[in-house]
Amino acid sequence: MMDYVLAEWVSGIIEWKRNLWMLGAGRPWQPGERLKLLFAGYNGARNTGSDLRVHEMLRQVRQVLGAERIELSVMTQDFEKTRGYFGDARQVHLPDVFPPFLQREVPRHHGVVSCEGSMFKSKFANALTVMTIGSLGIAAAENKLSLGYGGDAGYMDPFVMKMCRRFCRQSLVITRSEESRALLSELDIPTELGTDTAWTFEPHGPEYGRKQLADAGWDGKKPVLAVCPINPFWWPVKPSVPKFLARTLFGAYKNSHYRTIYFQKSGLEVERAYRRYLAELAGAVKAFQSRHDVFTILVATESLDARACGVISPELRAPVFTSDRYDMFELVSILRCCRWMVSSRYHGIVASMPAGVVSAGVTMDERIRNLMRERGHSHLMLAVDDPHLGEKLAEVMEVLVRDEDAIRRSLCGTVARNLKLMANMGVYLEKAVHDCYPDFPVRSGVHSWEEYLPPLSPLLRSLVESHEGAAAAGGAA
């Protein structure tokens, strides 16, 4: 019910802003001004993937449009948790009850860039998708830049899908998968194919990661196995005023309380499925430990994952590294010092791939599935609710060892191809800005594909040179 109320509230704001704009209210971008862009997404919850992909998005936008010509703002839910992120971008607080914020903040900018990876789907939270549609919809209603950048679309509840079709048909959405592009095209939403924007991320050097591992007990010799568990069954998050009142007045719903009016999915079925997933995951890792002399670590790339790590840490005798304690530059440095990985977090896999970490996925949705298919590694992907998860995962982990070199070559080639796709996104960005604001100064002449990316690290440059043939398959900018 509350999801529907939020959707209707935001829909009303979009229509109101459209009417005001038609009556002459508001002020468009003027030549000579800095182009003010608002990046709308889920940041400030110590979700490493969400934060680092936006960090790279901002670096790419500065590179393509010119840092001196633009003024960037990023939504955050907690200033302390995004301190030191996003360069010189202004950070603005996104409140949990967000419609008044969108009504006030979006018109202050010349355009909106949706930077949320799970952009259009009901899997995690309808409220998040409503916020995305609202941000893009208000910008489109005022004839401003309305751009989705490197996100996914999946199943949406009917009222959310209707809202998406109604308000995003004047937006351009650059998706990170063909599947997402096909779904949005059915809703008459303009799309282009891109990728995730995390590929260019540069963490602290490997010396930092090695020191943290050594401090946690690593002898510097054993190969390191990273395991990234989650709770796949407590989504979606939904707002509930009755639960909020019960929580406030009587202390009820403690275990399922996300924050303020938002609550995780809960119940005996959820708890049983979660415990079974962790038991199967831990069983497979223990079997692997019995056959291989490894140093195992548990990594919570989202602060919520610390709970799952804490449950199985004693059984695996594995130290835990959490995003609450380590920022994104630190945590990815640790991940890239590993040799093997089993992850239920998409960005745990993506962020480690440039360093050649050989990985398998245990997935709750299409993101890891699509990535593994792209790598040619569908056999290295399992579902979180597979009835034989432990047995199958133990076999998959042996494949990681047996076919390690071939898997590494393939995943590094995938990184190279995605760098080219990300460069193409820079071209789409430049064109979208020019189409919306023809007087905005854009670069002229012919440019290499690398000029549409933020500056690449020596590691990525070396990887591209080694996989030039694979990179060429991604298309030219």
Q: Enumerate the domain spans of the chain.
A: 2-200, 206-402
Q: Same fold for the domain at 2-200 and the one at 206-402? A: yes
Pick from 17-31, 64-78, 183-197, 351-365: least confident: 17-31
Residue 144 has pLDDT above 60, yes or no: yes
For residue 469, what pLDDT band results from cuts at 50, 70 and 90? low
SS3 322: strand
How far apart are alpha carbons 37 and 273 in whole angstroms? Answer: 42
Side-chain-facing half-sphere of 277: CA atoms under 13 Å: 25
pLDDT at 466: 86
pLDDT, tens digit (0-9, with 9 covering 90-100), for 202-261: 999 999 999 999 999 999 999 999 999 999 998 888 889 899 899 998 899 988 898 888
Residue 471 has pLDDT above 70, yes or no: no
Specify the pTM: 0.93
Fold of the CATH domain 2-200: Rossmann fold (3.40.50)
pLDDT at 76: 97
Side-chain-facing half-sphere of 89: CA atoms under 13 Å: 30
Phi then psi for residue 361, to 5 deg, are -120, 145
CB 288 within 8 A of CB 268: no
Question: Amino acid identity of 364?
Answer: M
If you average pLDDT over every residue of the chain, what do you get?
A: 94
pLDDT, tens digit (0-9, with 9 covering 90-100), for 67-79: 999 999 999 999 9
Q: How is residue 227 written in tokens?
A: 């395991």
pLDDT at 241: 87
Percent of the chain scoring above 70 in pLDDT: 98
How far apart are alpha carbons 144 and 111 in whole angstroms? Answer: 5
pLDDT at 470: 46
CATH classification for the domain delimited by 206-402, as one of 3.40.50.2000, 3.30.450.20, 3.90.1110.10, 3.40.50.2300: 3.40.50.2000
pLDDT at 443: 79
How far apart are alpha carbons 199 and 418 in whole angstroms? Answer: 7
Q: What is the DSSP string of 163-221?
A: HHHHHSTTSEEEESSHHHHHHHHHTT--EEE---SGGG---S-HHHHHHHHHHTT--SS
pLDDT, tens digit (0-9, with 9 covering 90-100), for 344-382: 999 999 999 999 999 999 999 999 999 999 999 999 999
Which residues have C-beta within 8 Å of that of residue 226, sequence separation ≥ 6?
Answer: 297, 298, 299, 335, 338, 340, 341, 342, 343, 348, 352, 357
pLDDT at 145: 98
How far apart are alpha carbons 473 and 418 in whole angstroms? Answer: 10
Q: How is residue 346 written in tokens?
A: 């998409």
Which residues have C-beta within 8 Å of that of residue 352, sequence separation ≥ 6?
Answer: 226, 332, 335, 336, 338, 341, 359
